[in-house]
Amino acid sequence: MWRLYHFTLCPFSRKVRFALAVKGVTHELVQERPWEKRPAFTALNPAGQTPVLQRDALVLSDSTAILEHIEETLERTPLIGSTAEDRAETRRLSAWFDQKFYAEVNAPLLGERMYKRAVVRGTPDGGIIRAASRMADMHLDYIDFLLERRAWLGGGQFGLADIAAAAHLSVADYLAGLEWDGHEPAKTWYSAIKSRPTFRPLLAERLEGLPPPQHYDKLDF
Ligand SMILES: N[C@@H](CCC(=O)N[C@@H](CS)C(=O)NCC(=O)O)C(=O)O
């Protein structure tokens, strides 16, 4: 069986978990705190980053590389699109969330609201949090824009663009970085994602000492 080393509030781990669930790939979970740089974990992934997917001697790291491997080796429920054009759009949007959304929203929120509170016991910087929330609002505007033109983020079919977006948004939402009012298309789309049995286990998880806002796991938010 596959074993996934993940961290509850790591958006890249959430992306892999959601995709594995959608593809029906059974796996066991190992919670890893990447900042602890556990030698046995660093031996698996020299970058010292979650997620890592392992089965026997096969060790995969980097969420995109992991999901490309799963997609190439498991034909059922294709997630990246059926035409070259669809695949390019799916990959563009997955990279958008993994790179741009992460740098502008989740990295600062995780640093201020999770790492400072749960790990180093520092004082969160309100200016950094407000700037990340403003950027998050611009990302929600862009999601609205896309969903006014297509059924799912990558096009006509649910796929990896939706999975990457939902993984990242769920972390920002857990950290109270999203204001959903005024973003009806994004809200309707995220509510549909939230209702999926493959996504519910992610919403049920909590980090000790850091509860999410009340609306976090509600379908009506
Ligand atoms: N490109 C990597 C990024 C993974 C990543 O940044 N993981 C974070 C946690 S969300 C991490 O382990 N950070 C610790 C570090 O960079 O030392 C992926 O897609 O898997």
Please enumerate in sequence order all residues whose Cβ is within 8 A of that of 38, keeping only pairs 6 or more positions apart, or say none. Answer: 32
48 lines ligand 1 (CB under 6 A): yes
Domain-terminating residue out of 73, 95, 119:
73
Domain range for 56: 2-73
14/3 Cα distance (integer angstroms): 14
Centre of ligand 1 to C-alpha 182, Å, is 31
Report the CATH number at residue 28: 3.40.30.10
The residue whose CB lies within 8 Å of the most ligand 1 atoms, and thus the one to mutate among 8, 12, 168, 175, is 12
5 lines ligand 1 (CB under 6 A): no
DSSP designation for 54: E
Centre of ligand 1 to C-alpha 49, Å, is 4
50 lines ligand 1 (CB under 6 A): yes
Does 78 map to a domain?
Answer: no
Angle in degrees, 0-180, between the axes of helices 11-23 and 160-174, rounded to the nearest 10: 140
Question: Which atom of ligand 1 is found nearest the CA of 62?
Answer: 20
Q: Are residues 68 and 96 in the same domain?
A: no
Q: Which two tokens stand for residue 12?
A: 């890249």
Does 155 map to a domain?
Answer: yes
Residue 152: left if φ>0, alpha if ψ -120 to 50, beta else—which one? beta
42/77 Cα distance (integer angstroms): 32
From the list 133, 198, 188, the residue with the least C-alpha distance to 163 is 198
From the list 180, 63, 47, 172, the residue with the least C-alpha distance to 114 is 172
Q: Are residues 6 and 63 in the same domain?
A: yes
Consecutive 10-residue averages of pLDDT for the chain (221 residues): 98 98 97 96 98 98 98 95 95 98 98 91 94 98 98 96 98 98 98 98 95 95 91
Centre of ligand 1 to C-alpha 216, Å, is 23
Q: Are residues 100 and 189 in the same domain?
A: yes
211/221 Cα distance (integer angstroms): 17
Question: Which atom of ligand 1 is found nearest the CA of 50?
Answer: 12
157/180 Cα distance (integer angstroms): 24
155 lines ligand 1 (CB under 6 A): no
Centre of ligand 1 to C-alpha 148, Å, is 32
12 lines ligand 1 (CB under 6 A): yes
Domain-terminating residue out of 54, 73, 92:
73
**What pLDDT is recorded for position 117?**
86
Helix (H) or strand (E) holding 29: strand 27-31
Does 128 map to a domain?
Answer: yes
**What pLDDT is recorded for position 128?**
97
Q: Read off φ and ψ for residue 105, nearest 5 degrees.
A: -125, -60
The residue whose CB lies within 8 Å of the most ligand 1 atoms, and thus the one to mutate among 32, 41, 50, 114, is 50
Q: Tokens 């999410």 — which residue?
A: 212
**What pLDDT is recorded for position 119?**
85
Beta strands in the chain (DSSP E): 2-6, 27-31, 52-55, 58-61
Q: Are residues 49 and 144 in the same domain?
A: no
Q: Are residues 130 and 36 in the same domain?
A: no
Report the CATH number at residue 148: 1.20.1050.10
